[in-house]
Amino acid sequence: MAKTIIPFGPQHPVLPEPLQLKLVMDEDTVVEAIPAIGYVHRGLEKLAELKDFNQTVYIVERVCGICSFMHSMAYVRGIEDIMGVVIPERAEFLRVIWAEIARIQSHLLYLGLIADGFGFESLFMETWKDREKILDVMEFTTGNRVIISANKVGGQTKDMTQEHFTAILKTMDEIEAKLKEYDKVFINNYSVKKRTVGIGYLSLEDVKEYAAVGPMARASGWAWDLRQTGYSAYKYLDFEPVVETGGDCHARNVVRIRETFQSIDLVRQAISKIPEGEIAVQVKGTPKGEVISRIEQPRGEAVYYIKGNGTKNLDRLRIRTPTFANIPTILKMLPGSQLPDVPIITLTIDPCISCTER
């Protein structure tokens, strides 16, 4: 029988991102899937070469609206390494607190989208309603909900007060209580499991072959989390990578839910340990040298290559985002799957195409 090619995306009701998959079908079964991107390429790496390295912070935090804070965190850490700048401990803790809050909102966004993917609209609305509480915390602590501009070369642009910490801890308690309810649905609900267990399997060998990162990789048994290297204030916090071995869509959901619980705990730990002191140091001069700066974003490892030439403009900024690393896993996961499972499998990558294309 002749094969059919179905274009899935870039505009599709279930896809939150402009990704196109050309699905070569044999009746209801996917034979081959070819991803295509390029709908939101903005040339940010070129733009970064034209701007002052301090202005580039504003560019990188606009690579993506979901992992915005951690993009700027990776960038400023790279510049600080090139220039030999050591920031105050309080600034390191503030970075970790905002980073983990950002991870919580990213994972809640994911949970909503995956619920929408299998038609569970009320669950989608509930998780995003809770995400609003996190965005409210962002606004309370920084003045902005999404792109918070809290990082700069040399430290932080804003500090937090005891009032902020109290509000954050209260929100963490509320989110944790709701997560315990979501836990029951995403992990134990019969209908949800029917759509996710055994679907989109990626083995540990596949993870290494395709160099997958983040929850995609940890759901297949790969215990790798950049935060374990102890960068920033993570060296003072107590945690282990969240790992599952199922390798399917269900395992990826479980990893992200457990990581959300873990992030709540990390925020509490960081708030209990944050020292008093300055939040930034004065930075003089311009960066000269090359650095690789890596960070564990919600979707996985992000890699920043930064090259300075001693002037205020960078020679090169290259950003490899986690979705950029994870998209090729589609080549492994989709062939052999059924057409109705394509959206769920794709969504479990937690794709962020604006990150991928920059």
Partner 1 sequence: MLPNMLLIENETFHFINKENLRNEIKKYKDDGYRMCSITCERLGEEEFELTYHMDLNYELTNLRLVGKYSEKIPSISHIFPSALLHENEYKDLFGIDFEDLLIDYKGNLYIPADGTKNPLR
Residue 311 CA to residue 288 CA, distance in Å, equals 8
**In whole angstroms, how close is the CB of 354 to partner 1 at the nearest point?**
12
208-227 residues near partner 1, rule: CB under 8 A: 208-212, 224, 226
Residue 43 found at the interface with partner 1 (CB under 8 A)? yes
Stretch that binds partner 1, among 60-68, 166-174, 245-253, 320-328 (CB under 8 A): 320-328
Q: Which is nearer to partner 1, 182 or 324 (CB)?
A: 324
Q: Per CB under 8 A, does 315 bind partner 1? A: yes
118 or 210: CB nearest partner 1: 210
Contact 24, 3 (CB under 8 A): yes
| Number of residues binding to partner 1, judged by CB under 8 A | 46
Query: Cα(102)–Cα(74) distance, rounded to whole angstroms?
Result: 14
- Within 13 A of 233's CA, how many CA atoms are on the CB side? 25
Measured CA to CA, the distance from residue 168 to residue 135 in angstroms comes to 11
Return the number of the residue (134 or 302) whose C-beta is nearest partner 1. Answer: 302
| Binding residues for partner 1 restricted to 14-33, rule: CB under 8 A | none
**Cβ proximity to partner 1, 289 vs 340, nearer residue:** 289
Query: Can residue 301 be called a binding residue for partner 1 (CB under 8 A)?
Result: yes
Q: In whole angstroms, give the CA distance from residue 294 to residue 231.
A: 9
Identify which range of 4-12, 194-202, 311-319, 340-348 contacts partner 1 by CB under 8 A: 311-319
CB 244 within 8 A of CB 215: no
C-beta closer to partner 1: residue 10 or 164: 10
* Cβ proximity to partner 1, 165 vs 324, nearer residue: 324
Among positions 141, 142, 269, 293, the unique one binding partner 1 when judged by CB under 8 A: 293
Q: Are 118 and 197 in contact (CB under 8 A)?
A: no
Determine if 89 is a binding residue for partner 1 (CB under 8 A). no
Cα gap 89→298, rounded to integer Å: 23
- Match 């209260």 to its residue by tokens: 170
Interface with partner 1, residue 291, by CB under 8 A: yes
CB 257, min distance to partner 1, A: 25
d(CA 58, CA 207) in angstroms, rounded, equals: 33
Residue type, 213: V
Residue for token pair 């034979």: 31
H or E, element range at 97: helix 89-117
Please say which residue, 144 or 335, places its beta carbon nearer to partner 1.
335
Q: Are 329 and 216 in contact (CB under 8 A)?
A: yes
Tell me how far apart the terminal alpha carbons of the chain are, to the nearest angstrom.
40
Q: Smallest distance, Å, CB 297 to partner 1?
A: 12
Residues of this chain that bind partner 1 (CB under 8 A): 34, 36-38, 41, 43, 45-46, 77-78, 81-82, 208-212, 224, 226, 228-231, 289-295, 301, 303, 305, 307, 315-316, 318, 320, 324-325, 327-328, 331-332, 356-357
